[in-house]
Structure 1
């Protein structure tokens, strides 16, 4: 049987990105119906897999000429590969993907992983003077490409309310935890000699890394067994410089990553060895208020107790499993918090397996079958 050729493409994600490869790519490969091609920047951690071909490119800065011209290189790759379905993982590929669809008749899916306009406006990635213009350009591309999008995939339910350009052809496919064949779900192996705290994900001030450090330092004063492991990548140089300064004299705080991406397997291993995980991402102009963060799925699927910012959406999500302790980084008592951590029972209700990718995979496969006519 002839396989349907699919391209999953991104500019700023690695080719072994968790969503592109471990969730979308591997789910498609299981069916043996698709010839899968993943375009992203190069990664040293890539594993080969039958039915999946990687097309890496070199990394480039967020504010660089290479970022401007690279969509045209992706377009050349489209012409070479001749995909029947394109899954564009970023707004930067909307124009070239739409042009390819017009010329060659492929099916086009826009996988919306972020509300990009809100991110540009309310984060510190870009200089303040250029943010309004960049945000307007992104939204214009999303409107202009609308007639050519066969289907929208949303990583968050809230995008249905936030994004004005969406059509009725929408499927929500959340970023739930997809354990690989060598990973044990809900496996816990913390060191009984310590109280290990964990911060994972993008390292930044707005994501709460410095709040996590301050809370850890306060808890460590109450009990020297408290340690913190920070695992992730820091995109902003000023945050990375501050991070190194904040932790340089504290042996009980360990950094894995910072200036480089960390393989997802190492993140999962850290989750399974921790006693508590931090989720302290600030509201930041309302960007995060109604989102269910990927780390919430990863932590709850692995039954890791959570030290959680008082966000109503997250509190409601965690209450289903009794998974969290609410923490206000600006106003907390370390002794009281530590006592609660030591005495509270977690995950004694609900079914944490609802945080697994297995509930989302059928949505993806049904959509692809519909678009490919299989």
Structure 2
């Protein structure tokens, strides 16, 4: 039987991005009905996968002429592959994907991973004078492309309230965890005296990495066996410079990544080896209040106890598993926190399988079969 050609495309993610490859790509390829093609920027860590073809793009800086041209490069790949289904998960591909549908037909699915316009207005990625114009252009593209989008996929439930251009054809498919290596099988605390902390994901001031460092330093003064491993990529140069400066003389804090992408397998391995994980993402004018972070799914699926910033939505999520200690990183008593870490019994309630991708993948396959 001839397989249906399908493309999953992004400009902002590597071709081995976890959501594109390990979640969407593998779930779709396993049906043996689709010839899956993934477009993203090049990655040195990409592994060969049966029924999936990769189309790497050269990387670019956030403010560059090259970035403006990349959608047309993707359009040329569309022409070459001739897909019947396109899943675009960045706003920058909305115009060229709409154009492809006008010319050649097929199914256009917009996988919304961020409220892009709101992010642009509330983060420090772009220069302040440009933010309103870039955000307005992004939202305009989302309105213009609406007649051509057959289905919206939402990575966060809150987008149903935040995004005014959505249609009734919207499905929430959360960014839950795909097990990549052997799951944790020892639910008890490690036998050694060392307490290993981990900070994973995007390394940034906005994600609370510097607060995690300060908490670790305070705990280390009480217990020299406290260790912190920071694993991930830091996109903002100023944050990376500050990070390296802050940890250069601290032998109890290590960095894996920073100036380069870290394979997701290494992130998962760091989670498996840790005793506690930080979730300190800042509210940023309420932008993150109602989002369920990927890290929450990754940590709870692996039964990793969490050091959690005071966010009511995240506290409620973690309480269902008894998964976290909530702290204010700007006002806490180190002795009390250390005692909580050493004496609290975690994951005594709930079913952590609810944090697994296997609860979401049937929704994706149902959309494609519709």
TM-score tier, shorter chain, comes to: over 0.9
Indicate how the Cα distance of structure 1 residues 190 and 119 shifts in structure 2: closer, same or farther if over 3 A, else same.
farther
Q: Does the 8 A contact of 1:176 with 1:294 survive in 2?
A: yes
Report what 1:52 is aligned to.
52
Q: Deviations over 1:221-269 (max 9, x none)?
A: 0100101000000000000000000000000000000000000000000
User: SS at the partner of 1:206?
Assistant: helix
CA distance in structure 2 between the aligned counterparts of 1:190 and 1:27, rounded to whole angstroms: 34
From 169, 183, 193, give the equivalent of 1:185. Answer: 183
Q: Does the 8 A contact of 2:183 with 2:272 survive in 1?
A: no
Deviation at 1:29, TM superposition (A): 1.1
User: SS at the partner of 1:62?
Assistant: coil
Q: Deviations over 1:245-302 (max 9, x none)?
A: 0000000000000000000000000000000000000001211100000000000000
Report what 1:103 is aligned to.
103
Q: Does the 8 A contact of 1:6 with 1:37 survive in 2?
A: yes
| TM-score normalized by the length of structure 1 | 0.97
CA distance in structure 2 between the aligned counterparts of 1:187 and 1:43, rounded to whole angstroms: 31
Counting only pairs closer than 5 Å after superposition, residues 161-180 of structure 1 correspond to structure 2 as 161-180=161-180
CA distance in structure 1 between the aligned counterparts of 2:203 and 2:63, rounded to whole angstroms: 19
User: SS at the partner of 2:206?
Assistant: coil
Report what 1:114 is aligned to.
114
User: SS at the partner of 1:130?
Assistant: helix
Gaps of 5+ in 1: none
| TM-score normalized by the length of structure 2 | 0.98
Deviation at 1:191, TM superposition (A): 6.7
Q: Does the 8 A contact of 1:191 with 1:273 survive in 2?
A: no
Q: Deviations over 1:345-367 (max 9, x none)?
A: 00000001100000001000111
CA distance in structure 2 between the aligned counterparts of 1:187 and 1:242, rounded to whole angstroms: 37
Report what 1:273 is aligned to.
273
Q: Deviations over 1:72-119 (max 9, x none)?
A: 010011001000000001000000000000000021000000000111
Mapped pair 1:328 → 2:322:
no
Indicate how the Cα distance of structure 1 residues 361 and 53 shifts in structure 2: closer, same or farther if over 3 A, else same.
same
Gaps of 5+ in 2: none
Indicate how the Cα distance of structure 1 residues 200 and 345 shifts in structure 2: closer, same or farther if over 3 A, else same.
same
CA distance in structure 1 between the aligned counterparts of 2:334 and 2:307, rounded to whole angstroms: 12
Counting only pairs closer than 5 Å after superposition, residues 342-357 of structure 1 correspond to structure 2 as 342-357=342-357
Poorly superposed stretches of 4+, deviation over 4 Å: 188-191
Deviation at 1:190, TM superposition (A): 4.9
Deviation at 1:155, TM superposition (A): 0.2
Report what 1:204 is aligned to.
204
Report what 2:37 is aligned to.
37
Deviation at 1:186, TM superposition (A): 3.5
Report what 1:259 is aligned to.
259
User: SS at the partner of 1:70?
Assistant: helix
Report what 1:158 is aligned to.
158
Q: CA RMSD in A?
A: 0.9
Counting only pairs closer than 5 Å after superposition, residues 1-374 of structure 1 correspond to structure 2 as 1-180=1-180, 183-188=181-186, 190=190, 192-370=192-370
Greater displacement, 312-321 / 184-193: 184-193
